[in-house]
Amino acid sequence: MNPPAFDLPIIERPHPTRSGPRLPTWLKREVPRGNANHFTSRLLDELGLETVCDNAKCPNRMECYAQKTATFMILGNVCTRPCGFCSVSRGRPDELAADEPERVAEAAARLGLEHVVITSVTRDDLPDGGADHFHQTVQAVRRRTDATIEVLTPDFIEQRQALRRVVEAAPDVFNHNMETVPRLYRQVRGPKSDYGWTLQMLRETKRLNPAVKTKSGLMLGLGESRDEVLDGLADLLEYGCDFLTLGQYLQPTSKMLPVARYVPPAEFADLGRMAESMGFAKVASGPFVRSSYHAREMAEHE
C-alpha cells in the first residue's frame, strides 16, 4: 500500500508570542541536586560535542545529565529547516567534522552508557542528508561500547538510498518523529516535510531490517484535536511503528509557535492507555515525555 498523499497548503503561522495559557503547576520542576549533571556537561564540552538537550532547550536536560546520559546531536548545530517548534539555530551549516563519530563513541564509553541516542540537525545541503555520518557514528559507538543504539533521524531529503545507509548500520531502534497531525504538518514542520514520507520511512526500515524496532512521537498542545491524534496513531501502526512517545509541546522561544493548550497529565495517561490498546508495543505518554526521554527503558522491551 502506498503512503497517503497529502497536498496540504502552507498554513500561516500565528504571530510569535509568549502570551496564552499560563504554565500549569504540573509543568514546574525542581532542578536535580548533585554534581553528576556538571560531570556530563564538562565531558561534552571537553569533547566538543553537541546535544539536542541543550540546543532544543529540553526541560529534562538537567535530570538526564544528572543520570550521566545525553542525546548526542551530530552533523553540527545549525539546521537547514525552519521548523516552527524547534529552537535549534538555522542557517548555513559548517562542514562536517570527520572525527565526530569517534568523539561521540568516546563520550558514550566514558559515560558508561547502556543505551546511546544519536540525533542530528537536518542537513539539506548534503547530498545524502547526513546518512553516511549517521552510519559511521553508529559503527564507532558499537566498536567502543556494548550499548544498544537508537537513531532519531531527519528525513534525508526523501532519499531511499540514504535511509538504507542508516539502516545498514543496524541500530537497535530507528526513530523518526511524526511530530504532529496532518492538518498542522506544514505549519509545524515546514514546507519541505511530507507526512506520507514520514510514515514510509518506518515501513521501509522494517522492510530493510525487520529486527530494528521503529519509533515515532507526537507533540501535543499545538491545536490538534483528539480524533486527529488517534487517526495519526492508527497511521503509525499501519506503517509498522513499534514504540510511541507523546509529550507536551513547550514554546522554547518567543519566535516559535505558541502553545495552544496544556494537556493535563490525566489526559496523557488516557491517551497512553488507548495507544497500548491499539497495538503499540511500548508507549511513553506524559507532559515531560520527549523522543529520547527514558529511551533505554523503552528499548529494553521484549
The angle, 0 to 180 degrees and rounded to 10, between the axes of the packed helices 160-168 and 131-144 is 0
Element (H, E) at 40: helix 36-46
Q: Are the beta carbons of 156 and 163 closer than 8 angstroms? A: yes
Q: Are the beta carbons of 75 and 133 closer than 8 angstroms? A: yes
289 domain residue, yes or no: no
Judge whether residue 65 has pLDDT over 90.
no
Q: Are the beta carbons of 143 and 72 closer than 8 angstroms? A: no
41: containing domain: 25-213
110 domain residue, yes or no: yes
147 domain residue, yes or no: yes
292 domain residue, yes or no: no
Measured between alpha carbons, how far is 83 from 81 in angstroms, rounded to an integer? 6
Select from 125, 177, 126, 113 the least CA-distant residue to 151: 177
How many residues are there in the chain? 302
Measured between alpha carbons, how far is 161 from 159 in angstroms, rounded to an integer? 5
In this structure, are strands 50-51 and 71-74 parallel, antiparallel, or unpaired? antiparallel
What's 197's domain CATH number? 3.20.20.70
The residue among 220 and 58 whose pLDDT is bigger is 220
The residue among 129 and 4 whose pLDDT is bigger is 129
The confidence score (pLDDT) of residue 29 equals 60
Element (H, E) at 228: helix 226-238
The residue among 89 and 218 whose pLDDT is bigger is 218
Measured between alpha carbons, how far is 75 from 47 in angstroms, rounded to an integer? 15
**To the nearest whole percent, how much of the chain has pLDDT over 90?**
59
Give one DSSP letter per residue of 16-66, joined into a string.
P-S-SSPPPGGG--PPPPSSHHHHHHHHHHHTT-EEHHHHTT-TTHHHHHH
* Three cell numbers, residue 260: 495552544
Partners of 149 in the beta sheet? 116
How many domains, in total, are found in the chain?
1
272 domain residue, yes or no: no
Measured between alpha carbons, how far is 41 from 53 in angstroms, rounded to an integer? 11
- Sorted by sequence, the CB contacts under 8 Å of residue 132 that are 6+ apart come out as 165
The confidence score (pLDDT) of residue 229 equals 98
Judge whether residue 16 has pLDDT over 50.
no
57 domain residue, yes or no: yes
186 domain residue, yes or no: yes
252 domain residue, yes or no: no
The whole-number average pLDDT for the span 157-164 is: 95
